[in-house]
Amino acid sequence: MKVIIVGKGARGGVESFILKAFIQSGVETKFLDSDKYFAQSVFNRIFNKIRRTPKYWGVKSFNDAVIKEAEEFTPDFILFFKPVLILPSTLVKLKAVTKTFSWYPDYIPTKKSASTYFFDSIPLYDCHLSFNFANVEELKKLGAKRSLFLPCAADLDCHGPVAASDEEKKELGADIVFMGTYANEKRAEYLERLCKDGYDIKIYGDGWEKHPKNSCLRQKNCIQFKALYCKDMSKVLNSSKISLSFVREYNKKVVTFCCRIYEIPASGGFMLHQRALKTDEVFKEGEEAAFFSSYEEMREKIDFYLKNEELRKKIVQKGKERVLREYLFIHRVQSIIEIFKELK
């Protein structure tokens, strides 16, 4: 079997995990990095800020490269990860060469994260895969031939447990750690309240300079103003007692499992995750992870688990075992291969 993966080539990105999983599965694989062919202009960036659905100019050379690679390599299928730069005309040309899959990480009605090209191309893909279960029906309404739920996963080379020295634990860790992008919603509100209530907290992630300068989190230096990935992230998780995880407000009423829900247990962290639709189907509550629905419940769970180290360790172990059994990228890739065989 031969496969081309198309996406962004950022270090530690989902595409790198997908690529590695295909190679580990014995598939001859090539990767096409959109960053090598396209950079959004300042004018295009400003233009897209005022558009409900972005449109990108200057993507033809990238699309030509995809077609050329497909014609020369003749893959069984091409897997496009979040293909917002792929033109409908490109997919039409690829029909004579190969099958095409789209794997989309965001919620489809949130058009700001997509593009006009993507929406125009939905009926042209042979199969759509989504991190978000709600996308399955949304894509069908928009003309998808086949639409399936396939969420994110973990990569053990990136997210495996990393032991920290006592000195590193003191420097990097805290009783409570949050690793994620800033958003002026529950994550910022609840963390600020925890700070005011006197809890030991550290925050890692992008965008936290937007949090008010007179806040408790800023005054107590809880915010580290940097994002960490892979082993660096794992070292922080293993230096802390509880790792909080939140659902974005626009995803509250739909089923969406972000990558962090798999990465925290894989890294050996104790996960206390905001409860959402079907989260209890991913991990058994109280056995493989802990969940909360309100600030009061979150604080109650924090107090309980801070006092029960042995129980925390048992839950961490069970959570990690569940990831190893079902939630690695190699499991997702094996699912994609089976879906392809069904299409044939």
- What is the set of domains in the chain, with CATH numbers? 2-153+329-343 (3.40.50.2000), 156-326 (3.40.50.2000)
Residue 50: what pLDDT?
94
- pLDDT band for position 248 (50/70/90)? confident
Residues 134-147, mean pLDDT to the nearest whole number:
96
> Which is more confidently placed, 253 or 198?
198
Per-residue pLDDT tens for 64-91? 999 999 999 999 999 999 999 999 999 9
H/E element, 188 = helix 186-196
Residue 254: what pLDDT?
59
Residue 83: Cβ within 10 Å count: 26
Residue 276: what pLDDT?
81
Residues 253-264, mean pLDDT to the nearest whole number:
78
Q: What is the dihedral of CA 182, 183, 189, 195, to 10 degrees?
A: 0
Residues 206-221, mean pLDDT to the nearest whole number:
97
Residue 86: what pLDDT?
98
Tokens at residue 340, please? 């392809």
Range in 163-172, 181-190, 248-257, 288-297 with the lowest mean pLDDT: 248-257
Residue 245: what pLDDT?
94
- Which segments within the chain are labelled E, that is strand? 2-7, 28-33, 77-81, 99-104, 127-130, 147-149, 176-179, 201-204, 242-245, 271-274, 290-292
pLDDT at 145 over 80: yes
Residue 250: what pLDDT?
64
Residue (of 234, 332, 341, 343) closest to 18 by Cα position: 332
pLDDT at 305 over 90: yes
CA distance 32 to 10: 12
Per-residue pLDDT tens for 159-192? 999 988 999 999 999 999 999 999 999 999 999 9
Kindly provide the b/e burial profile for residues 214-245, where b requires at least 16 CB atoms within 10 angstroms of the residue's own CB. ebbbbeeebbbeeebbbbebbbbbbbbbbbbb
Residues 153-158, mean pLDDT to the nearest whole number:
94
Residue (of 65, 68, 67, 3) closest to 35 by Cα position: 65
Residues 298-325, mean pLDDT to the nearest whole number:
97
Residue 227: what pLDDT?
93
Cα 173 versus chain centre, distance: 23
Query: What count of residues does the chain have?
Result: 344
pLDDT, the chain, mean: 94
Whole-model pTM: value is 0.92
CA distance 130 to 133: 7
* pLDDT over 90, % of the chain: 89
**Identity (one letter) of the amino acid at 279?**
T
In order of 96, 190, 195, the CA distances from 117 in angstroms are 20, 38, 44
Residue 258: what pLDDT?
81
Q: Is residue 304 within 8 Å of residue 246, measured between CB atoms? A: no
* pLDDT over 70, % of the chain: 97
Residue 256: what pLDDT?
62
Cα-only R_g, the chain: 21
Residue 10: what pLDDT?
62
- pLDDT band for position 341 (50/70/90)? very high
- pLDDT band for position 247 (50/70/90)? confident
Residue 12: what pLDDT?
63
Phi and psi, residue 213, nearest 5°: -70, -25
pLDDT at 255 over 80: no
Scanning the structure block, which residue is given the tokens 């990095």?
33
The three-state secondary structure class of 203 is strand
